[in-house]
Amino acid sequence: MALFARKGFSGKVLVVTGAARGIGAGVARAYVAKGGRVALLGLEPELLEALATELGPAAAWWEADARDGRAMTAAIDAAAAHFGRIDHVLANAGIASYGTVRQIDEDSFERVIDINVNGVYRTLHASIPHLEKTRGYALVVASLASFTNLAGLASYNASKAGAESLALVARQEVAHLGVKVGVAHPSWIDTDIVRGAEADLPTFKVIRGKLPFPANATTTLAECVDAIVAGLAKRKTRVYVRRGVVVANWTKPLVNSPIGWAVMRPQLKKHVPDLEREVAALGRFQHAHVPLTDPKKPVVQEPEGP
């Protein structure tokens, strides 16, 4: 770590998806602060442009939808051409939807899976050829939800379990290329998604509050960013935010056992009907900050300047 403290990410380039806000924007800022350069990918051009302006010549931005493979490939190829290399990739783009399986509509469910799983595939697929040249590293942002299921977030839980599996398989497939793939498992981070869910659905907050630590706690964005930046520097196989999230991984069989079900079932009988009523009253399945584009229309924004 002493060598990293001196050199940081000098000469390195990071591609970040979902870079407009939250974890993606925070990691981009920290990476540049440690001497690196960043390619910002996302769907909110005003925020991307503002962040790139804030970070100066070390940053450039491309508007690209994680649901569109051609747009993602074009953006990542353009970033590699712009900066001359790609050393790190943070597959961070992700959304959540509300509603139980019987309640949520098909389009909303599929959108979460498409962005959170297929979007990771599209990011890795497009970036691996560039990472091979630098013997680089990709970090996939999964979640505590990869191990801890929560009623009313079926699409999110399924997608984050899928993202974890996809990352672990990709890790096996690219090892012979000198490329490494890791998985990050943030708990509930103080971002728009978590704040929006608690504001929209009071029962969600109640259910989460009854989960064991760390599933019942909210972690600061700064703590999450620090852990992910350290993961990038050390090319970690797993990044747990907080570290206690590792316990959720180890105890997953117990939680899903008959003993775990016996503990959970009375609470679910009480709270799931309330949760469904709140979603119905809300009249939407997404939190308030989900950017929308037409997936049939690729959008790639070239940066200005060298």
Which residues are known catalytic residues? 156
For residues 239 and 227, the answer to whether their CB atoms sit within 8 Å is: yes
Identify residue 210 by its one-letter amino acid code. K
For residues 151 and 271, the answer to whether their CB atoms sit within 8 Å is: yes
Q: How far apart are CA 280 and CA 235, in angstroms?
A: 43
Could you give the C-alpha distances from 257 to 51, 213, 245, 251, 275, in angstroms and in order? 46, 19, 19, 10, 24
Question: Where does residue 295 fall: left (phi above 0), alpha (psi -120 to 50 degrees), or beta otherwise?
Answer: alpha
| Strand partners of residue 99 | 153
Backbone angles phi, psi at 244, to 5 degrees: -65, -15
Strands 188-189 and 180-186: unpaired
Say what angle helices 202-209 and 192-200 make with each other, to 10 degrees: 110
Buried b (16+ CB within 10 A) or exposed e, 195-215: ebbbebbebbeebbeebeebb
Q: How far apart are CA 59 and CA 78, in angstroms?
A: 13
Closest by CA position to 79, among listed 34, 21, 8, 136: 136
For residues 115 and 93, the answer to whether their CB atoms sit within 8 Å is: yes
Q: How far apart are CA 241 and CA 222, in angstroms?
A: 11
